[in-house]
Amino acid sequence: MSAPRRPLPGWVEIGVLPLVNIALAFLIVGIIVKIIGVDSFHALRLLVVGAVGSSESIGYTLYYATNFMFTGLAVAVAFHAGLFNIGGEGQAYIGGLGCGLAVLALDRWLPAPLMIPLAILASAAFGAAWAAVPAWMQAWRGSHIVITTIMFNFVASALMVYLMVNVLIAPGSMTPQSRGFADSASIPSMQAALSWFGISVAQSALNLSLVLALLSCAGVWVFLWHTPWGYALRTMGQNPEAAVYAGTSIKRTTMLAMCLSGALAGGVAVNELLGVHHRLVLDFPAGYGFTGIAVALMGRGHPLGIVLAALLFGALQQGGAELSFEIPKITREMVIVIQGLVILFSGALVHLPRPWLQTLFARKA
Amino acid sequence: MEEALTFVTLTLAATLRVATPLVLCAMGGLFSEKSGIIDVGLEGKMLMAAFFAAATAAVTDSAWAGVAAAIVAAEALALLHGFACITHRGNQVVSGVAINILAVGLTVVLGTAWFERGGQTPPLTGSERLQPLFFPDAGDNILVYVALLSVPLTWWLIERTRFGLRLRAVGEMPLAVDAAGVSVAWLRYRAVLLCGLFAGLAGAYLSVAQNAGFSRDMTAGQGFIALAAIIFGRWRPLPAFGACLIFGLLDAVAIRLQGVKLPAIGEVPVQLIQALPYLLTLFLLAGFIGRAVAPRAAGVPYEKEH
């Protein structure tokens, strides 16, 4: 066992340590690329060009980043309450169910200004409800939220496959997907939205959900640091006993944190279903919920950090796809490897570089 | 009558085949959890082991080399978990999640780079696979028997040896073990390495015994089902083994019930049966069927006082 942790200078803690953690992760990625037999710097150049080289690729980078902001916020809100929500994937999936049910029931009658907010609320409500059960189990029955949220991911997946194959499938369709949503339930693409102001950008999957994601970031920041509920939530995360002493109800705060977390995860459904697919489809969360863990850890749980981390992971997702197009030896799954390494070095091994930095900054401190 | 008997035998054999990786994984996970190290990364270790087993078996033409490679791969991840959680006192769940995600990505990345088959390994034949020992139709390869033997072995190690006593103590109250002059870190490292050994065998079983090669995400949540079995068995080897058998039976039955209409119930959705292990564990965790109490120090990094 190593020596107890000594504090580092504040700016090193916030500015240097996270960068060293990320650098370590990417060092390993470089080694893996080398093992595969590809020039790392050539690959990196292709990745950057693929992510931000054109108006279209920037659009896709931001579209992926939208999903990552939602799931990153979801993980972060729970983290601040001392809860590890691994269930973002399932909460996004069930959020999609709420979104789909609302739209399929009402899209023929409601105009867009009513339909879209309602569908967004349905996504958030269903996501929150799916998170509320593990929260209830933790708060009232004492079962561990990590285990229950993992199980809820699998249950969500099984439930959705059943519903899509047997109930919600469009009549006559061979693939398990619902009928297409009416236009009133479609969130405008960024291309269309910007053309209202006379700005022309290339067609991509990017849509106005990005605005909702950014608003959510701002909202979470206000909630966590500028409301009494956010204060209670963070107190519980730091020291549950102190929170109880201060009059906070652990049960209520656990429910609040998890419901908010689940509602944020439901944002993925908004971006994917209302913004891109325009129908309910299988497996649309596609791992975004898990990437949210990496985003939240890398962003240190702060909305601003989460925006930056989401942009990085969006760029990796998009650039990685382009990279695997140019060099088939490097598959898109390289991005998953990077996610894993980031979670490892910014999460579990976050204190690894600390002794090195301590020696480095000891003289100056 | 004979038909019913065949049905029962076939279902039992299928149950054992499906339960083998669960049993191996659950026994491995038990060592880790008993020592106070939560292991959410069973799934990832098993997946990585399955990949390296199939890749090595394909290259060397030897199933045994594959099994050895599987153990090495799983132990590497186990050591990583130990390094993060024991040496650096990192968050155990975060480390486990990282290992799972890393394994999902790395197996496909390396598989595609080495074999150019979209993440799959070449199909394994003959000596590249572990063959059935006694009953050619039942698929009773050696790892099935290893899995069956692992249960009494785990029970004996945990319940009847000095190592097991200390292991349980370190999972309940590491301070006491430390005060008695026994190294908490070394005990936990041994537990994590045992876990890697069993997870490696489980992975090898998947790719070089049960199936003929590796395919992406082939563990398909079995590591988590094993975790569920540990909880369902309340962190005890024999009940955990029973839970693995029940979950295996559910899986075997799910395949047989596909599209079959049962009298009075109608068609049972396959998805429901597939979700049952998780649902049952959730009911248990909610306290509806008794209580499951984890080792008290599970998930808490041990910080030595100075």
Chain A contact present for B90, CB below 8 A: yes
Closest CA–CA distance from residue A289 to any residue of chain B (Å): 12
Contact B169, B184 (CB under 8 A): no
Cβ pair B85:A142 closer than 8 A: no
CB atoms within 10 A of CB A27: 11
ipTM for the complex? 0.90
How far apart CA A66 and CA B44 sit, in angstroms, is 28
Largest Cα–Cα separation, chain B: 71
CATH class of domain segment(s) B2-126+142-285: mainly alpha
Top residue of B268, B278, B289, B300 to mutate, by most chain A CBs within 10 Å, is B278
- pLDDT on residue A175: 86
Torsion of CA B170, B174, B177, B181, to 10 degrees: 130
pTM: predicted TM-score of the whole model, two decimal places: 0.91
- pLDDT on residue B242: 95
Cβ-Cβ contacts under 8 Å, A339 against chain B: 101, 105
Chain B contact present for A167, CB below 8 A: no
Cβ-Cβ contacts under 8 Å, B40 against chain A: 86, 146, 150
Residue pLDDT, tens place only, B256-274: 777 677 776 777 788 888 8
Closest CA–CA distance from residue A84 to any residue of chain B (Å): 8
Full set of structural domains in chain A with CATH: 49-330 (1.10.3470)
Closest CA–CA distance from residue A208 to any residue of chain B (Å): 30
What is the gyration radius of the CA atoms in chain B, in angstroms?
20
pLDDT beyond 80 at A329? yes
How far apart CA B202 and CA A83 sit, in angstroms, is 31
User: For residue A136, what is the nearest residue in chain B, using CA coordinates?
Assistant: B286
How far apart CA A115 and CA B241 sit, in angstroms, is 51
Chain B contact present for A166, CB below 8 A: yes
Cβ pair B285:A143 closer than 8 A: yes
pLDDT beyond 80 at B50? yes
Cβ pair B272:A148 closer than 8 A: no
pLDDT beyond 80 at B301? yes
How far apart CA A355 and CA A302 sit, in angstroms, is 25
Q: What residue spans define the domains of chain B?
A: 2-126+142-285
Residue B277 parent element (H or E)? helix B270-285
- For B93, the closest of A84, A329, A337 (CB atoms) is A84
Cβ pair B98:A348 closer than 8 A: yes
Closest CA–CA distance from residue B160 to any residue of chain A (Å): 28
How far apart CA A160 and CA B24 sit, in angstroms, is 30
Q: What is the DSSP letter of B265?
A: T
Among B20, B29, B10, smallest CA distance to B199 is for: B29
- pLDDT on residue B295: 85
Burial of B261 (0-12, 13-18, 19+ CB in 10 A): exposed
Contacts with B, A 238-297, CB within 8 Å: 290, 293-294, 297
Burial of A41 (0-12, 13-18, 19+ CB in 10 A): exposed
Residue B262 has φ and ψ, to the nearest 5°, of -85, 145
- pLDDT on residue A6: 64
- pLDDT on residue A134: 95
Return the residue matching tokens 């920037």: A58
Residue pLDDT, tens place only, B142-155: 999 999 999 999 99
B79: amino acid identity, one letter: L
What is the gyration radius of the CA atoms in chain A, in angstroms?
21
Strand partners, A177: A281
pLDDT beyond 50 at B170? yes
Top residue of A161, A298, A335, A337 to mutate, by most chain B CBs within 10 Å, is A337
- pLDDT on residue A243: 93
Cβ-Cβ contacts under 8 Å, A4 against chain B: 303, 306
Size of interface A-B (CB pairs under 8 A): 160
SS3 at position B266: strand
Cβ-Cβ contacts under 8 Å, B45 against chain A: none
Cβ pair B105:A338 closer than 8 A: yes
- pLDDT on residue A129: 97
pLDDT beyond 50 at A1? no
- For A158, the closest of B119, B185, B275 (CB atoms) is B275
Contact A72, A292 (CB under 8 A): yes
Residue B262 parent element (H or E)? strand B261-262
pLDDT beyond 50 at A207? yes
Cβ-Cβ contacts under 8 Å, A328 against chain B: 112
- pLDDT on residue B130: 87
- pLDDT on residue A332: 87
Contacts with A, B 243-302, CB within 8 Å: 269, 271-272, 274-275, 278-279, 281-282, 285-287, 292, 294, 302
SS3 at position B261: strand
Chain A contact present for B304, CB below 8 A: yes
Mean pLDDT of B78-94: 93
Cβ pair A137:B108 closer than 8 A: no
- For B90, the closest of A162, A293, A351 (CB atoms) is A351
User: For residue A143, what is the nearest residue in chain B, using CA coordinates?
Assistant: B285
Among A265, A147, A276, smallest CA distance to A208 is for: A276
Mean pLDDT of B86-101: 92
Closest CA–CA distance from residue A3 to any residue of chain B (Å): 8
Contact B19, B206 (CB under 8 A): no
Q: Which of B164-173, B221-230, B282-291 has the lowest mean pLDDT?
A: B282-291
Closest CA–CA distance from residue B205 to any residue of chain A (Å): 23
pLDDT beyond 80 at B40? yes
Strand partners, A189: A207
How far apart CA B51 and CA A77 sit, in angstroms, is 36
DSSP conformation letters of B21-81 = HHHHHHHHHHHHHHTT---TTHHHHHHHHHHHHHHHHHHHS-HHHHHHHHHHHHHHHHHHH
Cβ pair A347:B98 closer than 8 A: yes
Cβ pair B97:A3 closer than 8 A: no
User: For residue B269, what is the nearest residue in chain A, using CA coordinates?
Assistant: A162
- pLDDT on residue A364: 53
pLDDT beyond 90 at A125? yes
Chain B contact present for A151, CB below 8 A: yes
- pLDDT on residue A2: 46
pLDDT beyond 60 at A160? yes
- pLDDT on residue A266: 97
HEC string for A37-89: CCCHHHHHHHHHHHHHCCHHHHHHHHHHHHHHHHHHHHHHHHHHCCCCCCCHH
Chain B contact present for A356, CB below 8 A: no
